[in-house]
Structure formats: C-alpha cells, structure tokens
Structure 1
Amino acid sequence: MAYGAQSGGYFTKRAKGADLGEQLTARYANPANPANPANDARLAAAVELAERRGVSVNEVVLAYLTNQPDQTVPIFGGSSPEQVRESVKAATLTLSAAELAQLRVA
C-alpha cells in the first residue's frame, strides 16, 4: 500500500508553479531552498512524460505506482471531485518499461 502516493500534491503543485506551503516544503524540499535536486529531476521526468502522453503529472505519478511488477495499491486523495476523477484515470495509464525506467532513474 502506497500511503501518500501523491506526495501531498507536491509534484502537481510544483508543475503548476503553485505555492507548496510550509508542510510540503518541509517534507519534500528544503525550507531555505524549495528546490530539491532529486525531486527536481523526478518532476522534470514526470512533466516530460505527461506532456508526451497527453496526461496530467498526477496521472503519471500514480501510474508509476500501479505499473510496478509487484501489486501496488496507491492510496490517493483529492480535495475536489475533479481531482478524484483525474486520479482514477491513472489506473488506465500503462507505462512502458522505458517510461518506468525514465521515472526511476530521474
């Protein structure tokens, strides 16, 4: 079970240039410098893949989990019906081995 599968919206918010807030910054970045090199690389890979596939970054993040060789159940959340619908769409996104590797090594 992947609890916090969407990282509290970290990647989606970063992709949109939205404010991360104190809690997400403290958890996934550095309060003094919100850029985190490892997460920056992951974000760039997710954004590139989302644009190429015509899907959202959120769908890529969740599809990465559901496309693992072992059964993985991401626990996701949403603050609106649209966010829930978008998350559910990720279940139909099949990522290739090359796409999974692109996200894994980022």
Structure 2
Amino acid sequence: MAKIVTEFFRRYDKLMQEQGPASTFWKKADCEKVSGYFCKAKRERRMPPPTQLKKLEGYLDNQFLLECMQFYSDYYPECMTIKMDMALDEFVLKYRNKGRRKEREVASQLYLEKALRMGL
C-alpha cells in the first residue's frame, strides 16, 4: 500500500474514533452509502475516489484531501470519470488559490483540457 493511502486511512480512522462509529458519523453527514465505499477501499488497500473524498471536506485537512485526490487521478487514471474529474477540479480551484489571475488561468486550462478529452 502506498504511503499516502496508509496515511489517509490513519487519519480517517482517527476521525472515526473522535466522531463515534463510522455509521453514526455518515448518518450525521447524510451520506450513509459513503461508509461502504471507504470500507471497500480500505479492504482493497486503495485510495477512495475523489467523489467520495470530497465528502470529508472540512473534517480532514483539505490540502491533504487534495493530495489524495491527485494521487487517485495519477495512479488509477482508468477509473477516473468526468464526475471524479469535476470533484478534483473543484478542490483544485478551492484550495490552490494563488491569486485571482492565477485562479482564472487554472480554471481556463482545466476547462480546455476537459473539452479536449470530450472531443469538442
């Protein structure tokens, strides 16, 4: 298992210990299905997808979650869907602000890359 995956599940387990049982935490977050995705990913020793990692926004360090999402996109590119790309792009725009001008350049580059992938 990659170091970042191990670190993610260490932090996730710590969060679950602080918040109570995982099922209770996900009920409070109104995302009961997500618990199953995390359990399966942990069993398979894989990083959960960006769409699921996004649900932990505000509970874990957002910069770390961004790194985890980027790891997923780098190491499991065959699994990336448009929905997952959008979740990753949203996090990049939210948590990688380097000034207003840079943000616009990043956003336009992301949209251009998406359009090229979709064949437009």
Larger RCO: Structure 1 or Structure 2 (Cα < 8 Å, ≥ 6 residues apart)? 1
TM-score (norm 2): 0.29
Q: Whose radius of gyration is greater, 1 or 2?
A: 2
TM-score (norm 1): 0.31
